[in-house]
Amino acid sequence: MTFRLRPGKKGLALRLHDLEAAIMDVVWSKQLVSFAVSDVLAVLEKQRDIAYTTVMTTVARLYDKGLLGRERDGKRYLYSPKLTREEFLQSTAREVLEEAVGGHQAMAMLAEKVSEASAGELDELEALIQKRRGELDA
Amino acid sequence: MIEATFPLLGTAFVVLIVLPAFALLAKAGLVMLERDEAGGPLHGLNLRYVLLTGSSALPIAWLLSAGLHQAETGKSALACLLDHDTAELCFEPGYFALVLAAAIFASSIGVMRKHRGARASSTDAARALLRRVANIIASDAVLAGLHDRVVVTDDDGFALGTHGLLKPRVFIGTAFAARLSDEMLASALGHEAEHARALDPLRYLILQLALAVNPFGRFLLEPHAARWQAAREAHCDREAVILGAAPLPLADAIVRAARPGAREVVALGARDTAVLKFRIGMLLAFSERAPARCCHQGPSAFPVAFVLLLVALLLPHQTGTAALDVLHTGAEHALTYFWR
């Protein structure tokens, strides 16, 4: 399974296109074990205007990339995730850590300060945490 | 031939050739370890650490021990006889060991200066925070190891970190703690408890020293050291969650610690937000499914490193110091060649 890293993107979007990342986010956060295209569409339709065929094509692409498995169920396919979110992140981690640079302090810190240029990225990370908290509460 | 030749040229040879050569060998090992897809980036941290530090520490330990051994036993007599036509008063290997030790000490000063903890405070705010932390520790058995090991500081530039080499203590900034809920603070303390349990301040200091004493080889190892340190932080997040810390409050605390306050010094460039994103992504994943213990990276690196260091120190006494003689005569001959 190979993915190309996408500069300037983060999280799932680092290795997946936006809609691919959105679909995998739905699969993992809703903990879908076996699902049809219509199950994902039902969730995505609440967030954006999107066609069934678009979701179907993207789900098929995720199957081609090896992120989803599938089996026939009558006239349709039932898909299942092949990796957990953590396993996917682990496989992405090496590429992400490649970006680590020198200059670390000789002490153990919870997190080192990042520059003001990254303040926006920190805001996005905080929003991501709040979103997940909301999903878990729901 | 003047007696300063070997101590000075030999030390220069060690710094310019020997240590970079060992760094190159260590890099080859690290590249192979990092390419191993099987275990993921959090595996093999101890072995990677031994390669990073051993590439400087082991050759230096052998050379110092060999120099002192030759000076003590007069085993450098042959090399002295060849170069000076006399074996009497041949203390050059001893001077070499002294010059090498002085060079190492000089290059370590900068690292030691940076490795200073924050100042402890005893203001009302600091005392209130200490009481708050004591309540959190008392209510969480996993944090029991931090009892009497928490220091509070009013230093605005300090968030949360572990200092102290043999008895690490967790330092918390009052301004930073005020921005955290009790749940966030408890999770963050769980992360620091793993640092303290594994003696990470000592590990980090030795790593920085190993890079500092190898000025011409460090550029080969620095990217691997940065990756090791980033992976080590992620490992502490993982261990904290396994032991009961809540992943989302920990993620929140990490992001808040990464945000520089008005008077805080920015320590790193923007590129390291990539590591931050990885750690947050990992904690978001843990909020869906609790992690299993995959790769224990506890204090087992220390016994291994100690045994290797002991072997390097004892080896010259047991198997001879022929390599030092080669270095000795090589330095003398090099000077003769350039002098002509």
Is A38 an 8 Å CB contact of chain B?
Answer: no
Residue B82's pLDDT is: 58
Residue B9's pLDDT is: 84
Domain span at residue A56 reads 11-106
Give the start-to-end residue ranges of the domains of chain B. Answer: 5-115+300-339, 124-288
Residue B187's pLDDT is: 94
A138 in a structural domain: no
Of B191, B273, B289, the CB nearest to A121: B273
d(CA A66, CA B84): 72
Residue A107's pLDDT is: 64
Residue B305's pLDDT is: 81
Look at residue B247 and give its three-state secondary structure.
helix
pLDDT tens, B136-185? 999 888 888 888 899 998 887 788 888 888 888 999 989 889 989 999 99
A56 in a structural domain: yes
Say which range, A65-74, A105-114, B276-285, B304-313, has the weakest mean pLDDT: A105-114
B chain contacts of residue A86, beta-carbon cutoff 8 Å: 282, 285-286, 288-289, 291
Asked if residues A76 and A37 have their Cβ atoms less than 8 Å apart, the reply is: yes
Residue B107's pLDDT is: 83
**Higher-scoring residue by pLDDT: A86, B19:** B19
**Higher-scoring residue by pLDDT: A132, A80:** A80
A62 in a structural domain: yes
B chain contacts of residue A106, beta-carbon cutoff 8 Å: 111, 114-115, 201, 204-205, 207-209
- Among chain A residues, the shortest Cα distance to B222 is held by A102
- Averaged pLDDT for residues A48-58: 88
Share of chain A above pLDDT 70, in %: 72
A93 in a structural domain: yes
Say which range, A2-16, A23-37, B43-57, B174-188, has the weakest mean pLDDT: A2-16
H runs (alpha helix) in B90-180: 92-114, 124-138, 174-178
Residue B329, phi then psi, degrees to nearest 5: -70, -35
d(CA A80, CA A34): 5
**Contact flag A114-B195 (C-beta cutoff 8 Å):** no
**Contact flag B258-A28 (C-beta cutoff 8 Å):** no
**Contact flag A84-B278 (C-beta cutoff 8 Å):** no
d(CA B32, CA B121): 47
DSSP output for B280-320: HHHHHHHHHSPPPP----STTHHHHHHHHHHHHHHHHHHH-
**Closest-CA distance of chain B to residue A3, Å:** 15
pLDDT tens, B44-67? 788 889 999 999 999 999 998 888
User: Choosing among B149, B195, B273, which should be mutated to test the A contact, i.e. which has the most A CBs within 10 A?
Assistant: B273
- Asked whether the predicted pLDDT for residue A1 surpasses 50, the reply is no
**Closest-CA distance of chain A to residue B322, Å:** 36
Residue B186's pLDDT is: 94
Of B227, B260, B282, the CB nearest to A113: B260
- A75: CATH: 1.10.10.10
A121 in a structural domain: no
Residue B267's pLDDT is: 46
H runs (alpha helix) in A1-138: 18-29, 37-47, 52-64, 85-97, 119-137
In chain B, which stretches have pLDDT less than 70?
1-2, 36-41, 73-90, 115-117, 260-271, 294-300, 340
Residue B185's pLDDT is: 93
- Asked whether the predicted pLDDT for residue A97 surpasses 90, the reply is no
Residue A29's pLDDT is: 84
Is A108 an 8 Å CB contact of chain B?
Answer: yes
A128 in a structural domain: no
**Closest-CA distance of chain A to residue B124, Å:** 25
Residue A64's pLDDT is: 87
Helix (H) or strand (E) holding A76: strand A76-81
A32 in a structural domain: yes
- Overall pTM surpassing 0.90 (yes/no): no
User: Choosing among A26, A105, A107, A116, which should be mutated to test the B contact, i.e. which has the most B CBs within 10 A?
Assistant: A107
**Closest-CA distance of chain A to residue B122, Å:** 22
Is A97 an 8 Å CB contact of chain B?
Answer: yes
Res. A5 pLDDT band, cuts 50 70 90: very low
**Closest-CA distance of chain B to residue A4, Å:** 16
A72 in a structural domain: yes
Q: How many independent structural domains does chain A possess?
A: 1
- Asked whether the predicted pLDDT for residue A104 surpasses 70, the reply is no
B chain contacts of residue A96, beta-carbon cutoff 8 Å: 274-275, 277-278
User: Choosing among A24, A114, A132, A133, which should be mutated to test the B contact, i.e. which has the most B CBs within 10 A?
Assistant: A114
**Closest-CA distance of chain B to residue A50, Å:** 27
